[in-house]
Amino acid sequence: MSKTKSNKYNWKFSKIGGVTRVNIETGEDIAHLGELDQKLWTALSCPTTGFEFDETTLAYIDSNNDGHIHVNEVIEASKWLVAALKSPDSLLAGEDFISTDAINPDSDAGKALLEGISNAAKVLGEEHESISLADTAKALGILAEAAAEAKAAGEDVLPYGADTEEALALAGKLKAKIDDYFLRSKLAAFDSESTAALDVSAERIGAISDKELPGCIDEIATYPLARVSGDQALSLSAVINPAWAADFARLKAIAFDKDYPGAATLTDADWQAVQAKLATYTAWKDEVKKEEDEFLESQKAEAETIKGVDKFLHLYRDFFRFLKNFVTFSDFYSRDEARLAVFQSGKLFIDERSLDLCVRVTDMGRHGDMAAKSGMFILYCHCVSKVLGKEMDIAGIVTEGNTRSLSVGQNAIFYDRDGHDWDATVTKIVDNPISVPQAFWSPYRKFAKWCTDKLNKSAEDRDNKATQDLVAKADGAKLPDEGAAKKQAFDIAKFAGIFAAIGMALGFILDAVVGLLDSIIKMPWWGIFVLIAAIILLISGPSMLLAWLKLRKRNLAPVLNANGWAINSRVLVNTQFGSTLTHLAKYPKVKGKDPFRKKTPLWRHILRWCLILLVLAIAAFWICNKRLPWQKPHVEEVVIEEVITEEPAAVDAAAEPAAEPATEEPAL
């Protein structure tokens, strides 16, 4: 741990997760939060939804209500809390209640808080030396109920019960058309010869008959409500103008049928009576609204002070924890089950392991672009809870074990932070190294998979070809006729050339193998192990090096950025820390044999022992003779030096080659 002086305050720093981070451990640290260089914050903003934190508290911190919490809003909240308290150290406890003795009465924030506590006590009708979140919730609930009671006090004047508001709206909409109908009917009764003129004319309907009628609905709405006759009552079974039929039918159901049950017609007097009832209701509603406004106005200041206490208590309980997941990520690196990071949404159980690092996904599109940059092996799962009636997507980070059995479509179980279980299905996999040992075996597994795929493909092609041939024969496929080209005659020279090329290739390969074996035999015994190690390193080395490089840079920040966070620092998950985030199943040692295990065939036992004996025999022969059985013995040339005593001249003469004896030509 080290210290640095920034703006006259000595901040303490620690190495957490391979990155140097500032410590927030005391009330003084919180009090000086505004002096901390913004470049040293782990996060610069986060959303107010989508992770494991009280959303009411987050909404209170989000002072501009834009759905994100930024650094300046966190600093503003810290200043307000510190000003309202006698000692900022009380923020470290995370309690949901506070004693009035802990509040600073000399600051404006403290005075407002004490006033709100006093108002809450009046509403609750009881005095306390402390106040809790439960108290403020109860006081605000009482004020809301008082306003609701003011409305409910006049419900006896609702003429059509719960449908009164709808009846009022429909009556206002139809008033002009219904009044128009009754006036037309009165004129038709006054002068029967005017009936046709008062009704809709055939010419007006004919003018729109050649058009798309739904587009002429405004024109149709100008026609009378119903056919005009000398009868001054409106038949409730009459055909109503299509533009008004639905509204009239609904008004009839909730008002006319209630006021005049069983009536066949509606008179003008009946209609006026319905409007009078609705007018009385409208007058009452206006009066109640006025009283309600007056009540709320009188209680507004009181309610606001109590709401201020509620905000303070939410932050008093949660602010220190928020800082440990925003300014620092100490909760994430603590590995304490009671102090999980706010973005850890629960545990995923899959393939004999549990994943502690599961992050709720809010935007799968953004995750597709960002997740690959994390260097992590990620299982994306779609989770469904039929009990809760909810669905969500999560990203589970795999940091231990092998991944051979993990595949898209695999089912699992996810437990959220509240203990609810969700059915999870793997929808996407982001493949990255998990450990260096796993990377060691990766090339061999890839080669084995390649071989298996090739064999399966070959078998599938052969099966398809056999099936096609069988189907062709069954369908009576035609054989080539006599006029078709004859098969090419066997060309022995061509095949001799092919066999010669194959022989040469095999010869080169055999020479190379023999040369390699000869080189191995001439090596000292320890050289063979060095050679084997070099071959293994050549195959697995690149994969292990790449895995080591990626594991050093494994970073959770891109995953959080895809969820709307603005991460200002790396959130590294190295191998040691990653091993604590995934737990593998551990089985005890079981004595006895499995009665259902697959028995090894006898021929495999014989083959295994034959191979072992052959290897031992070759090794013994090599140790004793320094050669393999099929190699010729190596004869060393012995050079014997002769001591020459002749004179130099004699030596020269002796050095000349003797003349070859003449040979006679054989007689023909």
pLDDT in tens, 309-318: 999 999 999 9
Using the predicted structure, report yes or no on whether residue 39 has a pLDDT greater than 60.
yes
Regarding predicted confidence, which is higher, 451 or 130?
Answer: 130
Please report, rounded to a whole number, the percentage of residues in the chain having pLDDT higher than 90: 40
φ/ψ (deg, to 5) at 384: -130, 130
Confidence check: pLDDT of 169 > 50: yes
Question: Closest by alpha carbon to 562, among 427, 378, 403?
Answer: 378
Return the residue matching tokens 């022992």: 609
| Sign of the CA dihedral with 540 first, then 545, 546, and 548 last | positive
Count of C-beta atoms within a 10 Å radius of residue 661: 5
- Residue 85: which of 115, 58, 109, 60 has the closest Cα? 109
- Please give the average per-residue pLDDT across 480-490, as a whole number: 48
pTM score, whole prediction: 0.62
Does 93 or 290 have the greater pLDDT score?
Answer: 93
How far is the C-alpha of 115 from the C-alpha of 131, rounded, in Å? 12
Percent above pLDDT 70 for the chain: 76
In this predicted structure, what is the pLDDT of residue 85?
A: 97
> Over 50: is that where the pLDDT of 205 sits?
yes
Give me the pLDDT at residue 439, please: 62
Top pLDDT among 446 and 129 is at 129
Query: 467 falls in which pLDDT band (50, 70, 90)?
Result: confident
DSSP structure string for 609-660: HHHHHHHHHHHHHHHHHSS-TTSPP-PPPPP------S-HHHHHHHHSPPPP
pLDDT at residue 575 in the model: 83
Which residue has better confidence, 571 or 289?
A: 571
pLDDT at 449 over 70: no
> CB 230: neighbour CB atoms within 10 A?
14
> Is the pLDDT reported for residue 645 higher than 50?
no
Phi, psi of 437 (to 5 degrees): -60, -40
Most distant pair of Cα atoms in the chain: their distance = 173
Please report the pLDDT score of residue 156 as a whole number: 56
- 188-197, 273-282, 365-374, 537-546: least confidently modelled range: 537-546
3-state secondary structure at position 443: helix
* Structural contact between residues 427 and 382, judged by C-beta atoms closer than 8 angstroms: yes
Q: Is the pLDDT at 241 greater than 80, yes or no?
A: yes
pLDDT digits (tens, 9 = 90+) for 120-134: 999 998 887 899 999
Give me the mean pLDDT over the 372-383 stretch: 91
What mean pLDDT do residues 382-401 have?
94
Lowest mean pLDDT among 430-444, 532-546, 574-588, 644-658: 644-658
Output 167 or 624, whichever has higher pLDDT.
Answer: 167
Q: How far apart are CA 662 and CA 644, in angstroms?
A: 31
User: Are the beta carbons of 297 and 267 closer than 8 angstroms?
Assistant: no
Reading across the β-sheet that carries 566-567, which strands appear in turn? 68-70, 43-47, 566-567
Confidence of residue 479 (pLDDT cuts 50, 70, 90): very low
Average pLDDT, the chain: 81
Please check whether residue 48 is in contact with residue 67, taking contact to mean a CB–CB distance below 8 angstroms: yes
- Residue carrying the six token digits 């709100």: 116
Q: What would the pLDDT profile of 65-119 be if each residue is shown by its tens digit?
A: 999 999 999 999 999 999 999 999 999 999 999 999 999 999 999 999 999 999 9
Q: Is the pLDDT of residue 620 over 80?
A: no
Residue 51 CA from chain centroid, whole number: 12
Of 136-150, 493-507, 533-547, 563-577, the poorest mean pLDDT is in 493-507
pLDDT band at 650 (very low <50, low <70, confident <90, very high): very low
Joined together, the tokens standing for residue 219 give 């024109």
Query: What φ, ψ does residue 22 adopt, rounded to 5°?
Result: -75, 150
**Band of residue 404 on the pLDDT scale cut at 50, 70, 90:** confident
461 exposure class (CB count in 10 Å sphere: 0-12, 13-18, 19+): exposed
**Bridge partners (DSSP) listed for residue 385:** 390
Burial class of residue 93 in the structure, from the number of CB atoms within 10 Å of its CB (0-12 exposed, 13-18 middle, 19+ buried): exposed
DSSP 474: H
- pLDDT at residue 651 above 50? no
What is the rounded CA–CA span in Å between residue 625 and residue 532? 23
In the 8-state DSSP scheme, what is residue 603? H
Q: Is 194 exposed, middle or buried (0-12, 13-18, 19+ CB in 10 A)?
A: middle
Question: Would you list the DSSP string of 475-526?
Answer: TTPPPP-TTSPPPPPP-HHHHHHHHHHHHHHHHHHHHHHHHHHHHHHHS-HH
Q: What is the mean pLDDT of residues 488-507?
A: 60
Q: How far apart are CA 270 and CA 226, in angstroms?
A: 17
pLDDT digits (tens, 9 = 90+) for 316-347: 999 999 999 999 999 999 877 778 999 999 99
pLDDT of residue 621: 61
Predicted local confidence at residue 365, as pLDDT: 83
560 versus 643: which is more confidently predicted? 560
In the predicted model, what is the mean pLDDT of residues 412-418? 95
The CB density around residue 364, as the number of other CB atoms within 10 Å, is: 15
Q: How confident is the model at residue 206 (pLDDT cuts 50, 70, 90)?
A: confident
Q: How far apart are CA 402 and CA 487, in angstroms?
A: 55
The pLDDT score that the predictor gives to residue 383 is 97
Of residues 298 and 177, the one with the higher pLDDT is 177
Contact 408, 354 (CB under 8 A): no
Confidence of residue 155 (pLDDT cuts 50, 70, 90): low
Q: Where are the domains of the chain?
A: 2-152+311-333, 158-266
Whole-angstrom distance, CA of residue 102 vs CA of residue 86: 6
- pLDDT of 663: 46
The model's confidence at residue 521, banded by pLDDT at 50, 70 and 90, is low
For 527, residues 6+ apart whose C-beta sits below 8 A from its C-beta are 520
Q: What are phi and psi of 425, to 5 degrees?
A: -130, 130
Give the pLDDT score at 147.
Answer: 63
Q: 455 versus 561: which is more confidently predicted?
A: 561
CB–CB of 76/105 below 8 Å? no
Ranked by mean pLDDT, which of 216-220, 230-234, 415-419, 606-610 comes out on top? 415-419
Q: What is the mean pLDDT of residues 15-22?
A: 85
Q: What share of residues in the chain are helix, strand, coil (percent, to 5)?
A: 55, 15, 30
Asked whether the beta carbons of 74 and 61 are under 8 A apart, the reply is yes
The pair phi, psi for residue 321, each rounded to 5°, is: -65, -40
What letter represents residue 445's amino acid? R
With b meaning 16 or more CB within 10 Å and e meaning fewer, what string describes 564-592? bbbbbbebbbebebbeebbbeeeeeeeee
Residue 150 CA to residue 140 CA, distance in Å, equals 16
| Dihedral sign of CA atoms 396, 401, 403, 406 in order | negative
- Rounded to 10 degrees, what is the CA torsion of 478, 480, 484, 490? 160
Spatial neighbors of 384 by CB under 8 A, at least 6 apart, are 390, 391, 422, 423
- What is the pLDDT confidence band of residue 523, given thresholds at 50, 70 and 90? low
* Strand positions, DSSP E, 129-173: 130-132
Residue 381 in this model has a pLDDT that exceeds 60: yes
pLDDT of residue 532: 67
